[in-house]
Structure 1
Amino acid sequence: METDWLDLPFTGPFDLAASARFIEGFTPSQSFVDQEGRLRLAFPASPSWEPVAALVRQAAPNGPVQVRLNAAPEDVPAVLSHVQRILSLDVDGSGFADLASHDPVIREVQALAPGLRPVLFHSPYEAACWSIISQRVRTTQAAALKNQIARRVGTKVAVPAGRNELPGIQLDTFPAPRRLLSLDRIPLLPEVKSTRLRATAEAALAGDLDAAKLRAMPADEALRHLATLPGIGPFSAQLILLRGAGHPDVFATAEPRLHQAITAAYGLRRPSVNDLAQVADGWRPYRTWVSVLFRAQGDLARL
């Protein structure tokens, strides 16, 4: 059932256009932007894991953000929380710009895309599934596999249209946990990855991949918890917590590309991970947000 336009509250600067341009370069994402700059999303939403869709709009940077949903009435509150988290609107961003006042490196990176916040996976569940699918294959190949799995065994859902428009288009959602568990084998994947995806689905249904639960834990405890899942190592655990659950203030110790970007930006000579972590301490309470900007700065420079 489609809703009317609903408000998505947020605090601090936010520019949907910057996020929409960035999400188009976020390889695992199945979301896309229409000609009016509105963002279209489709995904299975916990706790019901029913397929839902959203159309997000913002008339001007820092202006009101609104969303129309295609979701069952009982799922609307949970889906709104999903969309807020996907766009990092559930985090108080009022102090993010202040980091630039005492760090010229951060000022330069932030200037590439004012108002941009991290764009996340639709859920920690999808982040975990992506981590497994993408292991030992090129990112573009993994994205193609994820999309093909969605088309073959996922669910199509209609994205709401704006007022006085034709009906919205349909998008494929990644298969929900119960759908994966109903399959004898996940298509296109080797047996080991198929087995690990099924274990991920079981963990999601058990609540072990709940975003609020993961963010409520101390970060180290959450990472240890995630690393107990089959096929999830330190890099994947950090990806799930930071880009799936949306924890805003963790320094990723297992991301060499991030470390290289920080080393170059600050002109460091052979820093250790501890040295880089000390640099990142100056970004609190937005270490994840700054890290995402560093990881994406090459793409941001081309936006």
Structure 2
Amino acid sequence: MRHLEITPVAPFEFERSLDFLGRFEPTAGEQVIRDGSVWKAFRTGGQTVGMRVRSTGTPEEPRLLVKTTGPVETDKAASLFVRRWLSTDDDLTGFYRIADEDRDMAPVVERLRGLHQVRFPSPFENAAWAVLAQRIPMKVARRMKQALVERYGDRVEMDGRELWAFPEPSDMAGASEAEIQPLLNNERRSRAVAAVAQAFNEVDEQWLRTAPILEVEQWLLAIHGIGTWSAAFVLFRGLGRIERMPITKMMLGAARDVYGPTMTQEEAERLAERYGEWQGYWTMYAMVGSP
């Protein structure tokens, strides 16, 4: 095993990331969190890599130490995985500048300062979850997701812990709706998962991260099973596209917790516009900071 170092953009509070991971139901139980560390596995280039991530710095001088099980040729992928997963490269200076002048949001930001977005491990996993979890109980969707992991993903042992990795798109590229159906016992979701796997296997992921956001949104909406909410979800939680976030019913509720119960949809949308390219972080801080 080898060790890699990552230097996040300050302020970065690793404990806040761990706390979020412990409460984020779509990936609950898919990593091990203990004694200030998180153990996680991921797939890259057909290989399964286990890692342990812990902080060796402070919020103002952050540093992460990553121990990895993978061969040396996976080191670059492991470092990039952690940086994207924990959004360590996000410089929140601009967001904090606007929020500090926002009378209602400023106390929330002060309480959560150093929180960076924790994303899904990959945009493909995020999109697969989005189609699995539509209008069914969370525990049912999680069982379906685990069935996909056990069939198409892989596992690795590290520090006496068994870590499962969600498949890459290429792991499921040839999976048909008929093949997936026995795992999910749901025809509609099987068709959607197969469509998501095919689409993500064929697209250049770098294009998803850098192309104009409206073009990427339209690409997502063209996938069977992906609607407006799911596309926004993947753009933010899967790709880290923080510059745009529609105000859903849940997000409006979070905004009302911060700004008052009389806030209207139109007022929330105008306020989001004020945050410009930081709309995603404004929404996230409001939701995390809600009672």
Using structure 1 for the length normalisation, give the TM-score: 0.85
CA distance in 2, matches of 1:270, 1:100: 18
Q: Are 1:41 and 2:36 an aligned pair? A: no
Residue 133 of structure 1 and its aligned partner are, at CA, apart by: 0.9
Q: Are 1:241 and 2:235 an aligned pair? A: yes
CA distance in 2, matches of 1:72, 1:207: 27
Please tell me whether the aligned partners of residues 121 and 244 of structure 1 are also in contact (alpha carbons under 8 angstroms): yes
CA distance in 2, matches of 1:181, 1:156: 19
- Structure-2 residue corresponding to 1:280: 272
- Structure-2 residue corresponding to 1:163: none
- Structure-2 residue corresponding to 1:28: 26
SS in 1 for 2:194: helix
CA distance in 2, matches of 1:88, 1:21: 15
Q: Deviations over 1:29-55 (max 9, x none)?
A: 14434332112222223xx25322221
Q: Are 1:201 and 2:194 an aligned pair? A: no
Indicate how the Cα distance of structure 1 residues 102 and 85 shifts in structure 2: closer, same or farther if over 3 A, else same: same
Q: Name which of 236, 256, 259 aligns with 1:263.
A: 256
Residue 238 of structure 1 and its aligned partner are, at CA, apart by: 0.5
Please tell me whether the aligned partners of residues 24 and 31 of structure 1 are also in contact (alpha carbons under 8 angstroms): no
Please tell me whether the aligned partners of residues 156 and 163 of structure 2 are also in contact (alpha carbons under 8 angstroms): yes
Indicate how the Cα distance of structure 1 residues 271 and 118 shifts in structure 2: closer, same or farther if over 3 A, else same: same
Identity %: 26
Q: Are 1:173 and 2:170 an aligned pair? A: no
Indicate how the Cα distance of structure 1 residues 189 and 81 shifts in structure 2: closer, same or farther if over 3 A, else same: farther
Please tell me whether the aligned partners of residues 84 and 90 of structure 1 are also in contact (alpha carbons under 8 angstroms): yes
Q: Are 1:17 and 2:9 an aligned pair? A: no
CA distance in 2, matches of 1:285, 1:49: 35
SS in 2 for 1:95: helix
Indicate how the Cα distance of structure 1 residues 67 and 96 shifts in structure 2: closer, same or farther if over 3 A, else same: farther
Q: Size of the alignment, in residue pairs?
A: 284
Unpaired runs of 5+ in structure 1? 160-166
Indicate how the Cα distance of structure 1 residues 74 and 287 shifts in structure 2: closer, same or farther if over 3 A, else same: same
SS in 2 for 1:135: coil
Q: In angstroms, what is the RMSD of aligned CA positions? A: 2.2
CA distance in 2, matches of 1:131, 1:34: 24
- Structure-1 residue corresponding to 2:286: 294
CA distance in 2, matches of 1:78, 1:106: 36
- Structure-2 residue corresponding to 1:146: 145
- Structure-2 residue corresponding to 1:164: none
Structure with more of its chain in helix, by fraction:
2
Amino acid at match of 2:197: A
